[in-house]
Structure 1
Amino acid sequence: MNKTVIAAVALGVVAFAGPASAEKLKATLDGKSEVPATTTSGTGTADLDYDAASKKLSWTVTYSGLSGPATAAHFHGPAEAGKNAGVALAIPNATASPVKGEATLTDAQAADLLGGKLYVNIHTAANPGGEIRGQVTK
């Protein structure tokens, strides 16, 4: 009887193990993280899920308090905090918060993402180089 219970428990564990879950990452956006820093009262967050098997990145970016409507949003990199870099990945339809989207990353983009070398930047007419920014971290 004990062998039957152990076997059943073992099978149950295997049945419920399932695939690995997506890696959770985030960014906290503000003007002081911009380079150069802005004096905006705007803030935001980016909540990210990354599935290494499919290289699929999904995001929800929320923001408020900007100097005006958002004109664009991007993931920039590779760059560490305090350094600027070019656009690595566009965030479409960022003119209203929240912004949801997804993309399949290249190997290089995935390495930069997991290495902490991407940041999220929200642009406005008053701050075309970026009004709020946040480094993506685990």
Structure 2
Amino acid sequence: MQSISIFRQLGLLCVVSTGLLFSSCSKNNNYTAPSTTYTISASLTAAQEVPATNSTGTGTLTGTYDASTYKLSYTLNWSGLTGAATGMHFHGPAAAGTSAAVEVAITGFPSAASGTVSGTATLTASQNDDLLGGKMYANIHTSANPAGEIRGQVSASK
């Protein structure tokens, strides 16, 4: 009879221990999922064009990118171009100093030597990789520089 009592006591001890173990593994309500939002930026200059141009124009690109939705939101400011902007694009994949095809057209910009345009685009998985890998650039074209007057490599940081 005494052996049954010991087994019951051990069983009770196991049940209590297991309950304590599981109660200490409760869900951490303070957990925050890692951010998928990046800040994007670029400084556009004539020296970064391939080949470089003689323009004194400059530009800045700022914005955000949400890697979970592939949504890119941007604002591009420029001034001092040789003439009115005739085209604007994000190109890739390309490291600094190399050229690549257009990946995303920038539309709705004013045809002016100075200005601002804001927009959004939904990237593809491959464009996502180009952007986060530092292999995308933005440039602005003019009549005097139809291949691009100013350019800036886009960086993405958390």
Report the TM range for the smaller structure's normalisation: 0.7 to 0.9
Deviations 1:88-137 (A, max 9, x none): 10000223521100011100000000000000010000000000000001
- Structure 2 unaligned blocks of 5 or more: 1-27
Q: Which is higher, the Rg of structure 1 or of structure 2?
A: 2
Aligned residue pairs total 126
Q: What is the aligned partner in structure 1 of residue 123 from structure 2?
A: 105
Give the secondary structure class of the aligned counterpart of 1:63.
Answer: strand
Deviations 1:16-50 (A, max 9, x none): x6883621011100000000000101000000200
More displaced 10-residue stretch of structure 1: 94-103 or 127-136: 94-103
Instruction: Give the share of equivalent positions with the same residue, in percent.
Output: 52
Question: Which of 53, 56, 65 is 1:38 aligned to?
Answer: 53
Dislocated runs of 4+, deviation >3 Å: 17-21
Matched AA of 2:125: D
- Structure 1 unaligned blocks of 5 or more: 1-9
1:78 aligns with 2:81: no
Question: Which of 44, 64, 72 is 1:57 aligned to?
Answer: 72
Equivalent residues of 2:36, 2:67 under 8 A apart? no
Cα root mean square deviation, aligned: 1.7
TM-score scaled by length of structure 1: 0.85
* 1:1-138 to 2 correspondences below 5 Å: 20=35, 22-95=37-110, 96=112, 97-138=115-156
